[in-house]
């Protein structure tokens, strides 16, 4: 009689022994027409991490007003930056490339046991499906990497929320880590400074002022304890010092405010207008809070704010690109991932 334990013949076979790295960013619509834009905006603006208004108050505003008019308007904005060759937003194109390049850089680590994937908090590819894909490939340890240098509840936290919701449905959960914000990491600051110097070197003019524009958030979120503003201020100060610029010439501002409430200040668009009207003739803007160029940088900063500056007396304007999938950008992502994988590899 065989007393050795044995598995039933219909036991599910589960692979294990690999390490997954999941890069996560905000998201992008599946198209620029009304229907995909509405679906994207509905998912985004229904997130309670993004809009903290009571549901009874926010639901009619969102569904009866915003989703009736905003999809068409934002669709036109997306159309100006759309990657027509791939039929997708630039954020998706760049994040895919970052993933592929990171996989190449990590190919020799952990005896080739690392799998790198990517997901978007809103839209596709979604977090749940990519976590399942990593599990199916045998990843029983997964590192979540929100691609936001500065932590904020409406960005980093909601990305993790989505991953944790997927984990709640799993009988066999992987071991999970979340990458720490890297707003003050020397590798990040050095990469930004190198990229900015290179971009400035390509200009035909020397900007009198450089705005360090980061995405805004309602001031109320700061007062509730969100560390985002403080981390943005640290990034701006370290970057200004690294570039050797004065506080007058390198200024922190906040963009993309939405709705009637007070947001973090000073506002980027109002600062741009005031500088132009005050006699500043040349201006550059850099957006270090974005790991990849997207609507908020390519359309809002390089489009809308360029127009504001030139229409109010400014003469020369430059938007300095994000780190994206450049050598400097990949050095940052690789450094963050290797740091967080310590003890696993």
Percentage of the chain exceeding pLDDT 70: 96
* Residue 8 pLDDT grade (very low, low, confident, very high; cuts 50, 70, 90): low
pLDDT in tens, 252-306: 999 999 888 999 999 999 999 999 999 999 999 999 999 999 999 999 999 999 9
| 296 in a known ligand binding site | yes
| 215 in a known ligand binding site | yes
User: Could you state, in order of their start, the residue ranges of all structural domains in the chain?
Assistant: 186-320
Please determine, for residue 1, whether its predicted confidence score (pLDDT) is greater than 60.
Answer: no
Average model confidence (pLDDT) for the chain? Answer: 96
Q: Give me the pLDDT at residue 58, please.
A: 94
The CATH number of the domain covering residues in 186-320: 3.40.50.1400
Please determine, for residue 12, whether its predicted confidence score (pLDDT) is greater than 60.
Answer: no
Angstrom CA distances, 322 to 5, 9, 79, 81, 328, stand at 57, 54, 20, 15, 10
Please determine, for residue 90, whether its predicted confidence score (pLDDT) is greater than 60.
Answer: yes
Average pLDDT over residues 163-170: 97
Q: Give me the pLDDT at residue 16, please.
A: 73
pLDDT in tens, 16-58: 789 999 999 999 999 999 999 999 999 999 999 999 999 999 9
Percentage of the chain exceeding pLDDT 90: 93
Q: Give me the pLDDT at residue 2, please.
A: 60
pLDDT in tens, 110-135: 899 999 999 999 999 999 999 999 99
């Amino acid at each position: 009689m065989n007393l050795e334990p044995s598995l039933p013949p219909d036991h599910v076979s589960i692979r294990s022994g690999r390490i997954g790295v999941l890069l996560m960013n905000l998201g992008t619509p599946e198209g620029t027409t009304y229907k995909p834009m509405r679906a994207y905006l509905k998912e985004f603006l229904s997130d309670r991490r993004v809009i903290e208004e009571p549901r009874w108050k926010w639901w009619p505003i969102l569904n009866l007003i915003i989703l009736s008019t905003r999809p068409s308007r934002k669709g036109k904005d997306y159309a100006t930056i759309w990657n027509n060759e791939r039929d997708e937003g630039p954020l998706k194109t760049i994040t895919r490339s970052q993933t592929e390049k990171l996989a190449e850089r990590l190919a020799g680590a952990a005896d080739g046991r690392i799998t790198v994937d990517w997901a978007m908090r809103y839209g596709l590819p979604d977090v749940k499906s990519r976590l399942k894909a990593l599990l199916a490939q045998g990843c029983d340890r997964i590192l979540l990497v929100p691609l936001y240098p500065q932590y904020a509840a409406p960005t980093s936290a909601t990305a993790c929320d989505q991953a944790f919701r997927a984990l709640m449905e799993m009988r066999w959960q992987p071991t999970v880590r979340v990458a720490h914000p890297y707003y003050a990491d020397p590798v990040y600051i050095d990469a930004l400074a190198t990229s900015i110097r290179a971009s400035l070197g390509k200009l035909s003019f020397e900007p009198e002022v450089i705005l360090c524009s980061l995405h805004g958030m309602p001031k109320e979120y700061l007062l509730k304890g969100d560390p985002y503003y403080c981390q943005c201020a640290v990034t701006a100060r370290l970057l200004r010092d690294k570039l050797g610029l004065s506080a007058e010439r390198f200024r922190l501002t906040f963009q993309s405010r939405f709705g009637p409430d007070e947001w973090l200040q000073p506002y980027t668009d109002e600062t741009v207008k005031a500088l132009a009207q005050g006699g500043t003739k040349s201006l550059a803007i850099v957006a270090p809070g974005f790991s990849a160029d997207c609507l908020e940088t390519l359309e809002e900063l390089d489009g809308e704010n360029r127009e504001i500056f030139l229409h109010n007396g400014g003469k020369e304007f430059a938007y300095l690109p994000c780190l994206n999938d450049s050598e400097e950008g990949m050095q940052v992502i690789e450094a963050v991932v290797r740091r967080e994988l310590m003890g696993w590899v």
